[in-house]
Chain A
Amino acid sequence: MRRRLNTHHLAAAVLTLVVIAVAIAPWIYPYPPAQQNLAERLAPASPEHWLGTDHLGRDTLSRLLEGGRFSMTVAALATMLTCLLGVAIGVLSARRRGWVDEFLTRTNDVLLAVPEMVVALFIVATLGTGFGPLLLALTVTGWTPFARLSRTLAYDVSSRGFVEAAHVVGCSPSFIIFRHVIPHLAGPILGQATLRFGHLLISVGALSYLGLGVQPPQSDWGSMMAAAQPYTERAPLGILAPGLAIFVMALCVTLIGQRAARMATGPLLLPTADRT
């Protein structure tokens, strides 16, 4: 147990460090991220450019810090949106029961079967690229794990004595939900949200990689990798570095999320079958 605790501390430390670095990026980057220097195209790592330069001679480290702002913001926003929506739907299902529950649960089942990427492609095909469609694409399918978890938890809580007692003394349904049900979901939901943040970070990168997410002149980790791909052999750092950033961030939040979920629910939270 001691060792496991240490990995989680390390993960939390790395995550905090990166979040701070990305947040204060404009004050710490070594070069302006958009500054081109064609004389130094595809340079390897050096004391001047710690992570080398890209095909336009832009500093990879600066672009990594800049790109992280977009990736992490979109992933965080999408996590919050899907969490709010999912918890609302899950609690509604569990409290209303009957056909409302049936309908919402079936919708959830169906959305789970539909590939996330196909939905994203569909939304981009209909609404075009941009910040709004990107968030929508991630939200339409992303709420399902939250709804599933909060529905199960809310069902359990609802059958406990204090909820019945609150009902008997005349508390309104909304008071019961906000005062007695939701506080009991907070721990596991927080764990789930951390896990989903990692997943969404990868999804945002995937859409940007395909050119359907962030649009030039803005860039994020996914679009950096797409731009660096033709030069993989000459300058592998261009694709290695942003990929490693996504991997490390996703790994850190997964470790923290699993730990949080274990602490909140006791047994290991089995990963839900989600995919890109």
Chain B
Amino acid sequence: MFPFIAKRTATLVAAVLVSSFAVFLIPYFTPGDPVRTIIRSRVSGNIIDDADVQALSLSLGLQDPLIVQYFSWLGRIATGDMGLSHVSRTPVADQVLPALAVTLSLVAAALALAVLVSLPLGIVAGLRHGKPADRVITSVTQSFIAMPEYWVAPLLVLVFALKLSVLPSAGWSGPESMVLPALTLALRPISYFTSAVRAGMIDAAAAEHVPAARARGLSVPQAVLRHVIPNGLVPLSTLVAVWFAGLLGGSVIVEVIFAVPGMGRLLFDAVVNSDIPLAQGGVVLVVALAVLVTTLADFVHRALTPAVEGSYA
């Protein structure tokens, strides 16, 4: 276990360093002089004094070697100083953290919904594997993979907000405004979760200890409850974590459509407005968090399934 943790932690650190370096380089690749952009965002009026440009370049440390600039930038990000947004002229950290909180609650709601729906569906499909119930559940949930979110969302809005007027069409003002975005976001995870639970059930039911338990005198429901279902759920734990990481920044479409003030929308707005400090702060945070969550999930998975040890993982 220990070498595994050490290796994964090293990967985690390397991934954060490489991705943040790529993010750090954004202003060096984009057209326009970033120093002038910063000055323009701070003063009103179009005339920029060359002396100001030089003074700011100097104070930003732009004459230092690239690697020195990178580490001082990373140090500032790590201590919460992500610079000022070009658009709102407020600190990036003050925008990123509330957005992250919104996205976390949206993603948590969507995944909770997905688990609630796919657990019973997957269990039924797995236990009645090959029967009509399995066929219906599998084909319906599999078709969710092919549904674009930007198609489902407007249709849900059309039905529930415009025609029935039972739910708000957009915004973020209470639990009812969370229903449609969470539902849209949950469709694809439902599909993958159901298929994972189903496969887990089929594998677990085929294991030798199940007939052994039956031979010991356990009834079928007892054997299923104690031996099939718990073992069948192991694959789900990793999958939920992977999706949690993925949806942190993968909810862009849903957040844009439903005007949810979360991370996805923030990143999208930052890109559309060329607000580089905001995009940098947001991307670094999302990537670091996503990699951290999946690494932790690997640890948990390792602890739950000791058999993985030694083999490739």
Contacts and interface: CB of A to CB of B under 8 A. Distances in A.
Interface residues of A, number: 49
B138 to A, nearest CB: 10
B11 interface: yes
Interface in A226-276: 226, 229, 232-233, 236, 239-240, 243-244, 246-247, 250-251, 254, 258, 268, 270-271, 273, 275-276
Interface stretch (B47-55, B226-234, B250-258): B250-258
Nearest to A253: B146
B280 to A, nearest CB: 9
B146 A254 contact: yes
A210 B257 CA distance: 10
Given A121-B252, A247-B151, A114 B287 contact: yes
Contact of B253 (A199, A206, A250): A206
B151 A225 contact: yes
Contacts of A212: 271
Between B157, B239, B253, the greatest number of chain A beta carbons within 10 A of the residue's beta carbon is seen for B253
Given A115-B286, A118-B287, A212-B271, A276 B151 contact: no
Given A210-B268, A275-B188, A251 B143 contact: yes
A258 B272 CA distance: 37
A118 B150 contact: no
B146 A251 contact: yes
Contact of B195 (A229, A246, A251, A270): A270
A206 B150 contact: yes
A273 B249 contact: no
Given A113-B291, A247-B151, A125 B271 contact: yes
A246 B157 CA distance: 19
B252 A210 contact: yes
Interface stretch (A84-92, A104-112, A168-176, A180-188): A104-112
B136 interface: no
Nearest to B245: A113
A117 B242 contact: no
B192 A247 contact: no
Interface in B119-158: 142-143, 145-151, 154-155, 157-158
A114 B19 contact: yes
B264 interface: yes
B186 interface: no
A247 B290 CA distance: 28
Contacts of A134: none
Given A243-B150, A251-B146, A124 B246 contact: no
Interface string B165-192: 0000000000000000000000010011
B146 A198 contact: yes
Contacts of B256: 210
B11 A116 contact: no
B276 interface: yes
Interface stretch (B21-29, B68-76, B78-86): B21-29
Between B14, B25, B151, B252, the greatest number of chain A beta carbons within 10 A of the residue's beta carbon is seen for B151
B154 A225 contact: yes
B30 interface: yes
A273 B271 contact: no
Contact of A275 (B23, B143, B246, B276): B246
A115 B249 contact: yes
Contacts of B22: 122
B248 interface: yes
A115 B30 contact: no
A199 to B, nearest CB: 8
Nearest to A226: B150
B279 A121 contact: yes
A218 interface: no
Contact of B15 (A110, A240, A275): A110
A205 interface: yes
B274 interface: yes
B204 interface: no
Contacts of B26: 122, 125-126
Between B25, B242, B252, B286, the greatest number of chain A beta carbons within 10 A of the residue's beta carbon is seen for B252
16 contacts: A112-B242, A113-B242, A116-B246, A116-B250, A118-B250, A121-B279, A121-B283, A126-B26, A127-B29, A206-B252, A206-B253, A210-B256, A247-B146, A254-B145, A268-B199, A273-B243
Given A115-B286, A116-B246, 20 more contacts: A113-B246, A115-B247, A116-B250, A118-B252, A121-B268, A122-B23, A126-B25, A126-B26, A126-B30, A222-B150, A232-B158, A243-B148, A243-B155, A244-B151, A247-B146, A250-B148, A271-B195, A275-B247, A276-B149, A276-B188
Interface of A: 106, 109-110, 112-118, 121-122, 124-128, 198-199, 202, 205-206, 209-212, 222, 225-226, 229, 232-233, 236, 239-240, 243-244, 246-247, 250-251, 254, 258, 268, 270-271, 273, 275-276
Closest 4 CB pairs of A and B: A243-B151, A250-B146, A118-B249, A115-B249
